[in-house]
Structure 1
Amino acid sequence: MNILVVDDHPLARLGLSSSLAHVTNIENIYEASNVSGAIKLLSHNDIDMTLIDLNLGKEYGLEIVKEAQRLKISSKFVVLTSSGKMSDFTKARELGVEGYLLKDALVEDIIYAIRVVARGKPFYDSELVNCNFKKKENDISQLTARERDVLVEIGRGLSNIEIASKLLISEFTVKKHVSNILGKLNLSHRTEAALYINNIDTT
């Protein structure tokens, strides 16, 4: 099986490619950082599966799927992204994307998803499929202003270190805020927090 990894971050591509290099049945791994590069590789190589990040700098990863379909390129597509927006998930499914995982998934889960999709079955992150969060205003109003700031950055896919740098607070303080957020909103982990903030109306 030949796989194409599309991500605009070199380290992310390298990390994923290195993890997949030792997987049985994966023969060749190609890499691209943008839409045009991905389409070029898909057009000139027999690629069985394409792993796509949605945020490719100023480009949108699903454009690869649209263009591949227009050119009648045969490849299965799996989205691997930090975006927890249900709108992105919905668009991907409407385009017929065979798989959709969040980037905080374990390598083992990614490999499992690849094998499931390779067998002709869809694989969608359970956190997205079962997303039934409360949307009552009093839920979000339980948070302090700073906790809401942290929650918004979690929704944008930032790490604790990145949030600390952006909000000019310590990483320890960020961790404390994250813990408070999860407790107040009755969530289990930051993936749920990201999905929560990306799928409620906070206006």
Structure 2
Amino acid sequence: MAETPIRLLIADDHPIVRDGIRGMFAGDPDFEVLGEAADGAQAVELARALNPDVILMDLRMPVMDGVTAIKELVKLGLPARVLVLTTYDTDKDVLPAIEAGATGYLLKDTGREDLVRSVRTAARGEAVLSPSVATRLLGQVRAPADSLSARELEVLRLIAQGSTNREAARTLFISEATVKSHVLHIYAKLGVNDRAAAVAAAFRRGLLTAEDD
């Protein structure tokens, strides 16, 4: 029995960009592009109507910007994961998007293979960051790896054991959004951009031992 395709919504104010993104997923049975939005307000409206799994969201759009749209989606309790896809990686773009509830943050120079892999990762509810964004967050945190907080270490141990963000949230009695925030801080402090790399780096640095696996 074939798996249900990952349902996508593309939000960008440039038609040529939307066409390009749609083209990256065209013909792939693992994905279905449900619709396109030209601004944040339309993205929220279509998300309510179409119930996508992942929204590829630009940040700087007319009517309603991407960060405001992400906040609206969270406020409405819509389950769609938001993967920011933009040309901007400055502090004033990255941090508000992550804090608003974005599951991931990629730049528009991301290749098709990386984009497809990132969409799959986001659909599972796992955080994904482009390398430059991970570096940007690291610069914001400005903390060495051994200064992971006690809670971040708890989250990291659960990641090493294969827990999803949702499972970790249940185990620790905190919200899934809080777990995601901890995961992003872990990525930044370890200088990595995915769960496997975080676990590997933690073992290398002695933050995790064989008992944590």
Specify the TM-score bucket, using the shorter chain as the normaliser: 0.5 to 0.7
Q: Does 1:28 align with 2:33?
A: yes
Match of 1:12 among 11, 17, 35: 17
**Post-superposition shift, 1:120?**
2.5
TM (norm. structure 2) is: 0.58
Q: 1:27 to 1:88 in 2, by over 3 A?
A: same
Alignment-mate amino acid for residue 97 of structure 1: A
Q: Pairwise CA RMSD of aligned residues?
A: 2.0
Match of 2:117 in 1: 112
Match of 1:103 in 2: 108
**Post-superposition shift, 1:59?**
3.7
**Post-superposition shift, 1:23?**
2.8
Consecutive unaligned residues of structure 1, counting only runs of 5 or more, are 135-203
Alignment-mate amino acid for residue 68 of structure 1: L
Q: 1:71 to 1:133 in 2, by over 3 A?
A: closer
Is the contact between residue 7 and residue 52 of structure 2 (CA under 8 Å) also seen in structure 1? Answer: yes
Match of 2:79 among 50, 62, 74: 74
Equivalent positions of 1:164-203 (< 5 A) are none
Alignment-mate amino acid for residue 27 of structure 1: E
**1:15-66 CA distances to partner (integer Å, 9 max, x unpaired)?**
1011112334213331000122111111111211100011113642111111
More helix by share: 2
Match of 2:88 among 60, 83, 86: 83
Distance 1:84 1:8 in 2: 18
Decide which moves more: 52-61 or 117-126.
52-61
Decide which moves more: 56-65 or 5-14.
56-65
How much identity, in percent, do the aligned residues show?
A: 30
Distance 1:73 1:132 in 2: 26
**Post-superposition shift, 1:91?**
1.0
Alignment-mate amino acid for residue 111 of structure 1: V
Match of 1:148 in 2: none
**Post-superposition shift, 1:126?**
1.1
Match of 1:126 among 131, 136, 144: 131
- SS of the residue corresponding to residue 56 of structure 1 reads coil
Alignment-mate amino acid for residue 53 of structure 2: D
Distance 2:37 2:7 in 1: 14
Alignment-mate amino acid for residue 9 of structure 2: L
Q: Does 1:53 align with 2:58?
A: yes
Is the contact between residue 39 and residue 63 of structure 2 (CA under 8 Å) also seen in structure 1? Answer: no
Q: Does 1:94 align with 2:99?
A: yes
